[in-house]
Structure 1
Amino acid sequence: MTGAVQTHPALVLNADFRPLSYFPLSLWCWQDAIKAVFLDRVNIVSEYDTVVRSPSFEMKLPSVISLKQYVSLDRRPAFTRFNVFLRDRFECQYCTEALPAEDLTFDHIVPRSRGGRTSWDNVVTACQECNLIKGNRLLEETCMTLMRPVEEPTTFQLQQNGRAFPPNFLHESWRDFLYWDSELET
């Protein structure tokens, strides 16, 4: 087995053949994928050409697997910094500039020092410059406005937003499952 095996993640689909998550993309390392195959928890949908071997067994590495049991995605999304950025599409909600996550902060619309809570309806994505300009003030005390209304997203909304941010690596066997509703070439 060569070092190239380390770079063969498996796309994980729910039992309905949709990815569990688009952003971050639901991927398992090849070891976890093979373990799930042996535990009969997944079906192999597609394979890489790379083969792993033991003294008594050989198998092509799975590139796409589907869960045998459907996992409901109806639960409320966790309130995390990443999910706030994803809800807001990695755009400052004040100046609308799109930035990488490492250049973003989150801002309390009503500052914590003024009774604001850290919750979906009081936190937005902000660039560092806008966050500094707004500071410890209310929106009414600034000339700033929000790009869109602030609300708790559904898991479905986060999934939809995540589809706009393709990962750095896409194996060709994944494309049919990631972009199943995009326009087909004629």
Structure 2
Amino acid sequence: MYRGMARAIAPDTFETHDFSSWSDLAIASGEPAIHSISLRIRVPEIIILALYNEVPRKEVVFSRRNIYKRDRFTCQYCGEQPGSEELTIDHILPRSVGGRSTWENCVLACVDCNRHKANRTPDGAGMRLLKPPVRPPWTPFLSLKLGIRKASWERFVSERYWDIELQA
């Protein structure tokens, strides 16, 4: 803000402020503040970047948790959602024949489907995937941890907007 690269938004009025006008605002008792030798200003809850190159590109970590999220806790062969304890990670091309643990080669499978597929490819087992597995795209919203959202953010990054079921 000090260098003019960002503006603060007042959470109660949604007015934008540069550094000078933000530092003129009163600080309520108990409100977080930044202290310097000659200045004390409110900690802004909402900041708009005025100048930036782009959101840094990141990748979603290949992990058990993220495979479950990507596949929505659903067997990718039969479409059932038996619960996480009844789901396994299946290698489409089995590891025994050179299959690797990658986004494109791993899917969730229920115990029954994984048992039926055994050490074969889906074609070899007479099975079909519901959809081809892909690496999920990273979005900044994935990095917002639950529990640290402020009410003032709701207008800008609402959970309801992202989680509502879309109609066909």
- Shorter-chain TM-score tier: 0.5 to 0.7
Q: Is 1:120 matched up with 2:84?
A: no
Change (3 A) 1:106 1:159: farther
Runs of 4+ in 1 over 6 A off after TM superposition: none
| Structure 1 runs not aligned, ≥5 long | 1-36
The SS at the match of 2:130 is coil
Partner of 2:25: none
Alignment match of 1:108 (pick from 48, 70, 91): 91
Q: Superposition RMSD on alpha carbons, in Å?
A: 4.5
More strand by share: 1
1:1-186 counterparts in 2 under 5 A?
A: 37=1, 42-46=6-10, 50-54=31-35, 56=37, 57-67=39-49, 68-72=51-55, 77-78=59-60, 80-81=62-63, 83-94=66-77, 95-97=79-81, 106-126=89-109, 129=111, 133=115, 134-142=117-125, 145-153=128-136, 155=137, 159=139, 167-179=146-158, 182=161
CA contact (8 A) 2:8 2:46 kept: yes
**Residue aligning to 1:20:** none
CA distance in structure 2 between the aligned counterparts of 1:175 and 1:132, rounded to whole angstroms: 42
Bigger helix share = 1
Gap change, CA 1:103 and 1:43, over 3 Å in 2? farther
TM-score, length-normalised on structure 2?
0.53
- In structure 1, the partner of 2:19 is none
Q: Contact (CA 8 Å) 1:79, 1:120: kept in 2 or not?
A: no
* Paired residue total: 139
Asked if the contact 1:87–1:161 (Cα under 8 Å) also holds between the matched residues in 2, the reply is: no
By how many angstroms is 1:64 displaced? 2.1
SS at match of 2:129: coil
Q: Distance in 1 between matches of 2:6 and 2:83?
A: 37
Q: Any idea what the Cα deviations from partners look like across 1:114-143, whole Å, max 9, x if unmatched?
A: 12133332122346x368635533324547
- Paired residues of 1:106 and 1:124 also in contact (CA < 8 A): yes
- Structure 1 residues 76 and 39: alpha-carbon distance in aligned structure 2, compared to 1, 3 A threshold: same
Deviation at 1:152, TM superposition (A): 3.8
> CA distance change for structure 1 residues 87 and 137 in 2, over 3 Å: closer, same or farther?
same
Give 1:173's aligned amino acid: S
Q: Which has the larger radius of gyration?
A: 2
Query: Which consecutive residues of structure 2, in runs of 5 or more, have no partner in the other structure?
Result: 13-27
